[in-house]
Amino acid sequence: MGLVVQKFGGTSVGSVERILNVAACVKDETERGNNVVVVVSAMGKSTDKLVGLAKEISNQPNKREMDMLLSTGEQVTIALLSMALNQQGLPAVSYTGWQAGIVTEPVHGNARISTIKTESIKNQLTEGKVVIVAGFQGITEDGEITTLGRGGSDTTAVALAAALKADKCDIYTDVTGVFTTDPRYVKEARKLLSVSYDEMLELANLGAGVLHPRAVEFAKNYQVRLEVRSSMEKIEGTVIEGEATMEQNLVVRGVAFEDDITKVTVLGLTNSLTSLSTIFTTLAQNHINVDIIIQSTTEGGTANLSFSIHTDDLLETLKVLEDNKAVLGYEQLDAENKLAKVSIVGSGMISNPGVAAKMFEVLASNGIQIKMVSTSEIKVSAVLEEKNMLKAVELLHRAFELGN
């Protein structure tokens, strides 16, 4: 008898009918002779509705209270799914994140899992029960409820699979696998049979919403066998593994994109060796994620520093910088929003020079201005105006021959 962790996202549990469909998927797995742990998200758009309620009360709700509010969404789903399984004669028990032993760092809104105390889950599995765990949430050592950030149910599932030494972890979603780009926007997008951990990590970090980046990190670090598959169709999905087989010798394997990007520029910095470290240490201490970074020196001997953030973090970023202006030693701040990031990803780029040049040429020849650039061994990212995002994605997808 093996152990399988199954994760179902919000769309897959968006109605009672779909919850009953999930129950059937779970039952099928148990009938193959496996023990099953199920991780679920909140139903449909219920998390968005909870956020909307909070925003009606405050533009900047208290983060602790937001965690208290948002963690209720998954609690609805686990109870309903447990009822559905029990109704079908399959013993099941539902656990909130803290009941499941998921302990996190003391950060509200975007906590990382510190450890998982698996005794309770293992005891229930020994009794022959399906254990249903609320994704996206945990508890601190001090007893504070925390959430793992949007998409955190993926992280919960893979972390549980690692802690329980599960034979595999299946991520069920509303698509049939990982595509070369988002098929909702590019009709020629093609499903990949396999993707390497490193490629998937880049794609997830760069805006591909099919998997949470921290989930991929867990899978890579603990060698969790991972498959992204459809909750609606019984077909083969996409396997995430150590080294993916190169399909059709593709150098670029996918195009990812993300909107709601803002470029923040710090003008007139004292050009000292510690300026950069002081700024980014200050932002990190306030849990603000910074992405692409560009520095330039002026004729007057000062420096200008630009970096990209998610637009949701803009107000807090400006406040942190302004509160620490005396220490950081800059003249003024500037922000440019309505930007997007478009990226190409592929492990084949390591041995194929000229990929970045081709990307820039494609964008330039179509009148798309690049404002910031970031590269690694297996990706190239460009920040551009949000209005050009989808056009850029289609052009690059076609230029690198990723379509059907």
- Residue 115: domain span: 3-174
Share of the chain above pLDDT 70, in %: 98
Question: Does residue 345 fall inside a structural domain?
Answer: yes
Given 174, 205, 228, the domain boundary residue is: 174
Question: Does residue 287 fall inside a structural domain?
Answer: yes
The single-letter code of the amino acid at 169 is C
Q: pLDDT tens across 189-217, in order?
A: 999 999 999 999 999 988 888 888 889 99
Q: How far apart are CA 334 and CA 263, in angstroms?
A: 8
pTM of the entire predicted model: 0.82
Question: Does residue 321 fall inside a structural domain?
Answer: yes
Tokens of 250: 């593709």
> 153 with 279, same domain?
no
**Lowest-pLDDT choice from 155-159, 243-247, 395-399:** 243-247
Number of domains in the chain: 2
Q: Is 267's pLDDT higher than 80?
A: yes
- pLDDT recorded at residue 297: 84
Q: pLDDT tens across 44-55, in order?
A: 999 999 999 999
Given 141, 174, 207, the domain boundary residue is: 174
Please provide the average confidence, as pLDDT, over all residues in the chain. 93
| Contacts with 133 (C-beta within 8 Å, 6 or more apart), sequence order | 37, 38, 39, 40, 78, 94, 95, 97, 100, 102, 121, 156, 160
Q: pLDDT tens across 57-107, in order?
A: 999 899 999 999 999 999 999 999 999 999 999 999 999 999 999 999 999
Question: Does residue 319 fall inside a structural domain?
Answer: yes
> 160 with 282, same domain?
no
> 259 with 170, same domain?
no
> 285 with 162, same domain?
no
Check which CATH number belongs to the domain holding 388 and give it.
Answer: 3.30.2130.10
